[in-house]
Structure 1
Amino acid sequence: MFSGIILAILLGVTIAYPNYQQNIPNGRQVPNPCAGVTGLWLGVGHLNPHGAGPRNLFGQDFASSGHSWTHDLCMADSDGDGRSNGVELGDPSCTWKPGQAPSLKATGHPGICEPMNDLKCQSVNANIACS
């Protein structure tokens, strides 16, 4: 019985994170900002590009908003790079709703200060796992 409970908990956690991508515009299309790396950052709210583990600043804000795309979350600049989460995720007017196609492509990462080598970004990005 105990192992069944643990399995159910782990299965729930494993399935839940990919579902969060549906709760933000372009959640499955966020570019990887690491130098020399092409591809996507699938764990948008995490320090690790594949998800799991500690959350980045956007992940903390997303959790605080009830894992929902709210007007306040859209307007916020979680990573402090001078661009709102909405601008970075392709919803600058903050009108996107789950199930809709975003009006624009994602142009940045809302939880990683960009450009990454900028002095203002170094402390924000200290724990980002680029490798």
Structure 2
Amino acid sequence: MLRLVVAAVTFATICAHPQYRDSIPNGYSVPNPCGLGTWETVGHFDPHHHTHDKNPFGLAFAAAGHTWTAALCNADSDNDGVTNGAELGDPGCVWTVGATPSGPATGHPGICDPVGTCGQAFYCGCHGHNCLGK
């Protein structure tokens, strides 16, 4: 039984990639565009669990080598008219890992707010493939 618990915890830790939250400004305080609280898995469509369905910010972050770059900061991954940097509290794109961002996260860089606008098919309350109406 102990082996099963250890294996489950190890698998969850490997799949969740929580260290990526350290690689973006305010990674632990990204607002949940579907309600109260924060979005724990910033690069995914499910707010609490790693899924294979990455949102546009998750795809851009992966393409940037899982690194906060000036290009990623200046991009508008969710196409809502606000840059990723502005939404994550780094409007000047000067943040570095371990530093304090210049402001709080004010939006989600991968999910358009209000949800359902900006041409994004995502809707609240979904998980995995259902998020995009697949």
Please report the TM-score for the alignment, with normalisation by the length of structure 2: 0.80
Cα deviation for residue 12 of structure 1 reads 5.8
Q: Which amino acid aligns with 2:11?
A: L
Tell me the number of residue pairs that the alignment of Structure 1 and Structure 2 aligns: 120
User: Which residue number corresponds to residue 67 of structure 1?
Assistant: 66
**C-alpha separation between the residues in 2 aligned to 1:76 and 1:64?**
13
> Contact 2:115–2:122 (CA<8 Å) still a contact in 1?
no
**C-alpha separation between the residues in 1 aligned to 2:96 and 2:11?**
29
Deviations 1:1-22 (A, max 9, x none): xxxxxx5x836624x6110000
User: Which residue number corresponds to residue 57 of structure 1?
Assistant: 56
**C-alpha separation between the residues in 1 aligned to 2:87 and 2:28?**
13
User: Which residue number corresponds to residue 26 of structure 1?
Assistant: 26
> Contact 1:45–1:51 (CA<8 Å) still a contact in 2?
no
Deviations 1:15-72 (A, max 9, x none): x6110000000000000011xx210000100000013111000000000000000000
Please report the TM-score for the alignment, with normalisation by the length of structure 1: 0.82
Correspondence list, 1:1-131, <5 A: 10=11, 13-14=14-15, 17-34=17-34, 37-53=35-51, 54-118=53-117, 121=118, 123-124=119-120, 126-130=121-125
SS in 1 for 2:97: coil
Specify every segment of 5 or more residues in structure 2 that has no aligned partner in the other structure, as ranges.
Answer: 1-6, 127-134
**C-alpha separation between the residues in 2 aligned to 1:44 and 1:130?**
16
Percent of matched pairs sharing the same residue: 50
Q: Which amino acid aligns with 2:66?
A: H
- Superposition RMSD on alpha carbons, in Å? 2.2
